[in-house]
Chains A and B, each alone.
Chain A
């Protein structure tokens, strides 16, 4: 698999789009189910985070389209060639970007609202999360409706999990021990079901994409998918430590656990970022073998 500089830049922009969109959406879900456990300063910081991530996602979406235009011609001039941008937008990317922008605009309502969560912001978070399903290799499957719905569920769950990490870190740094413990326990309880759905749906989609196992796993797409699965396993391991070892100790008020909790959340963020980077790569520069 050869990657030009423009390909790498487009992959980077896509990864940033993933991270910021899922981050904004996940932070809104976090406020919805944990907001009442937080003090106003933490809620305010998370709302500010949502605003920053929403804006960054919108900018990254635009940058991605420009960089994808540049990959067509292989030079800077391609970035400003409107016919290239038209080709990309006229394909699924136009719909996906439109849905994402609409969702992010609704997410921004959460920034201005002083309530724990805003119903429209939740809808916006869902739209923004699912926007990536507008373009995906699953659409090559027939019928496409089932894998499309599964992909939307996968994205919603990914936003719930990965998008909670920065708010968890904010909570872990700024809140009182009892609050941190309560938030960790509530998130952990909900995450159990969400992660189960995420894995079942993800594995179902993978099963649908694999037509012949040997060519699949020996292809560039298959190797990148294997790398993603490895990182997901690592993320699950860290999450398991949080849920089964650290959270009970947080609830007991053990001071060492609070330091360890911050570190494991940071480790989850690194693993999550790598997962999104790998996903951006195999959804941009390669595809499942036919």
Chain B
């Protein structure tokens, strides 16, 4: 009985050999972290180490939220590009939360950039 159980366990374990899995880390962004821009960017691009889904994306300036449209039902991807409204000169902070597509692990981060007047 135990031998059969172990064999069944070994077979079942192959079903659980899922795809690649790790925490999705932000590899690069545009604007880049701490970038000092001379012109306002038209888009915000985030590139991750793994395919992920964006759960939360916030762009703030002086504590005020600037709306960015995020499709929570978008397919997982390693790179996302979001159109931005026209941004005034100043300092901006991007806060993001991503969910790795292969294991559901949540990663968060933030970075800042500025636009010179």
Could you tell me which A residues sit within 8 Å of B by CB distance? 32, 68, 71-74, 78, 81, 83-84, 86-93, 95-96, 99, 119, 122-123, 126-127, 130-131, 133-137, 139-140, 142, 144-145, 148-149, 151-153, 156, 284, 286-288, 290
Contacts and interface: CB of A to CB of B under 8 A. Distances in A.
Contacts of B69: none
B104 A89 contact: yes
Interface in B46-93: 49, 53, 55-56, 72-73
Nearest to A152: B13
A130 B12 CA distance: 8
Interface in B8-35: 8-10, 12-23, 25
Given A73-B56, A84-B72, A126-B12, A137 B17 contact: no
Main secondary structure of the interface of A (DSSP, over half): helix
A137 B5 CA distance: 26
Given A83-B73, A122-B5, A91 B101 contact: yes
Nearest to B9: A126
Contacts of A142: 20
Contacts of B99: 72, 84, 87-88, 91
Contacts of B20: 139-140, 142, 144
Contacts of A86: 73
Contact of A133 (B5, B8, B13, B56): B13
Contacts of A73: 55-56, 97
A144 B56 contact: no
